[in-house]
Amino acid sequence: MTSIYRRFPKKESCLEHLEKVRCRTCEHELPRTAEEILEKARWPDKKTCPYCLSEKISGHKEPTKTRFQCSLCKRSFSATTKTFLHGTHIDLALWFGLIKIMKEDKNFSAAQATKKLKIRYATVLSMAERIKGAKKDKLLNALEDILCLAIKP
């Protein structure tokens, strides 16, 4: 399998590829960024506050990611809040790459993933533990659908 990181060394090359690819199983337009993919997976219909479940929210851009503000509870949150991706400083594209590797390869090897993604072994192990802990997580399943992985668990 070709390394995702080698194939898409920059976000721009990944975005260009996403725009060209049309998913066979998805009937909707593909999101343009990894953050948009995560938002679409988390909130397929309408964004809701992860703390109070209110739909009355507003968004504002920050330099690194979009943040939202709940009008009801006044708390700020992002698409990763209260998910297995919460608090990560690792690029979402690397998370998506590891999810793909783990789903496609029944004999998943952290050492092989380290080489493919060009990140530290300990980082891959930590990420893999989070992903394994989220096996029954609706967000992980939705991510697989949006990314068109469609691989049986």
Each residue of 52-68: pLDDT tens digit? Answer: 999 999 987 777 778 99
pLDDT at res. 54:
94
pLDDT one-digit tens code per residue, 92-120? 989 988 988 887 777 888 999 999 999 99
Cα torsion 25, 26, 31, 36: sign: negative
| pLDDT grade for 11, boundaries at 50, 70 and 90 | low
Q: What is the pTM of this model?
A: 0.70
Q: In the predicted model, what is the mean pLDDT of residues 75-103?
A: 89
Please say whether the beta carbons of 56 and 47 come within 8 A: no
CB atoms within 10 A of CB 132: 12
| pLDDT value of position 106 | 77
Percent of the chain topping pLDDT 70? 73
Contact 91, 34 (CB under 8 A): yes
Band (pLDDT 50/70/90 cuts) for residue 130 is very high
